[in-house]
Structure 1
Amino acid sequence: MNRRLNKPASNSINIQVFRSSGFTLLEMMVAMVITTILLTVVYGSFYQGIRSWHTISIHTDNEQQQYLLRQHLRQQLQNCLLISTSKARNSAIEFKGKKNSIEFVSELSPLQGDAGLYSYRVTLRSEPAGLDIQILPYGTDNESLQQQITLNTDTPLLVEYSDSTGNNINWIERWPHKNRLPQLIRIYQPDTDQPDWLPLTIQSRRHRHAI
């Protein structure tokens, strides 16, 4: 009798390999390096943008300040008055024109604020280069009433005067006449290729009567 030996069924074992879905240490280091480089580039661009904007803002403010100062100076020099220092005939007037300063008397209208006569002194500085305007009510020495306007420039300014207009203008450093105003006054920046002050030429209204 043949016996059939049944072999025990072998147990099949399924082995599954699980792979991690996360980053390896090397991948994390590479990602951190790339992130650092990107942040550096972005911050550098942002910093440069802020600096450029700050520079443009300062430059714009300086241009606006200079524009307002030039307009005021032009108007007041055009309207400077022939005010005599005494009642004597042909007496000196309240105007002094030197190579680095101008002294004159002008009038502020009610539309400009405090109306009245004011003494002006415009001083051209060398160190530091720039321009100062001192304004004081005429006939007073009270320094507490004095107003001052200051403007800095890259290089010093000069002032010149002329008793003529037209094509043949003879500019001089000092105004020699004591009883009349110059025809022209010029404030300019010499010996520079890139001036930050464009030449300002003013024609005074000499027909205004003396006071």
Structure 2
Amino acid sequence: MKYRTRGFTLIELMVALTLTTLVAMLAYGGLQITLDSWRRAEARQQAMELRSLSQSLLRRLLESPVPFSVTDDEEVAQAAFRGDEGTLLFVARLPALDQGERLYWIQLAQEKQLTPKGLRWRLLMRYLPFEESQTLNWTVLEQALVDSAEPRVLLDGMPRAWRFAYLDPRAERGSEWLTEWRQRGDLPMLIRLTPARRRGEAVGELVVAPRERAHAILGSR
């Protein structure tokens, strides 16, 4: 007896093709999800590395103020260091520019921007060559930095402004954090940079001792 080979019906072929298509779509979707996860992880890693590099540079900058003395237009002799919660201005060397052969005025200032994600802040660095003069006008100096110095972006995309603070070791009630450092004869013992606190989020402060102050601390022990 001969048996005829039974072929696939049109419906069976359509079902098989549909199942094959579904399997291919699921496989492609799974691959896309995996690739998207990799991309997001890589983007997070790159953002973390960039933030780490930026904070490392920022730490070196905050360590670098030189205790140089200047006299302002009110005839007050003081350290070449002036700061408040949002801005910091000091004298330091920049070895990356000229192997540290000369001094520069360095300004760290915050600027807000309107972005597609809303209002964001960034931390900028400006600098100008330091030139000795008989009197110093801080307002004129700050404007000169804004007008003639191309800013370098140290931190970008911050949801809120960061805050500077300065540790005064000679406060009446012991060491005290101040929100302003003006017309002082020396550098602060420590400089603190604090990000704005978010609800339910830990705050990672950056606390740095100016190098000259660190030497004094170690020498007193």
Q: Same fold (TM over 0.5)?
A: yes
CA gap 1:93/1:191 in 2 versus in 1, 3 angstroms: same
1:148 match: 152
1:183 match: 189
CA gap 1:107/1:130 in 2 versus in 1, 3 angstroms: same
1:69 is the counterpart of 2:42: no
Deviations 1:136-161 (A, max 9, x none): 44349697764512422243311111
1:48 is the counterpart of 2:33: yes
1:163 to 155, 164, 168: 168
Q: Larger relative CO (CA 8 A, sep 6+): 1 or 2?
A: 2
141-150 vs 64-73, which deviates more? 141-150
Residue segments in structure 1 that go unaligned for 5+ positions in a row: 1-14
**How much does 1:207 deviate?**
8.1
3-state SS of 1:176 partner:
coil
Alignment partners' CA distance in 2, 1:181 and 1:27: 84
3-state SS of 1:85 partner:
strand
Which one has a larger percent strand, Structure 1 or Structure 2? 2
CA gap 1:52/1:119 in 2 versus in 1, 3 angstroms: farther
3-state SS of 2:109 partner:
strand
- Aligned pair count reads 188
Residue type of the partner of 2:43? I
1:194 is the counterpart of 2:201: yes
Alignment partners' CA distance in 2, 1:155 and 1:144: 27
Root mean square deviation, CA, Å: 3.1
Deviations 1:7-62 (A, max 9, x none): xxxxxxxx856334x42211111111211221221122111122222212221222
Which one has a larger percent helix, Structure 1 or Structure 2? 2
1:11 match: none
2:98 match: 114
1:96 to 79, 82, 85: 82
Alignment partners' CA distance in 2, 1:125 and 1:71: 20
Residue segments in structure 2 that go unaligned for 5+ positions in a row: 113-118, 132-140, 216-221
1:128 to 120, 125, 131: 120
- Overall identity of the aligned pairs, in %: 23
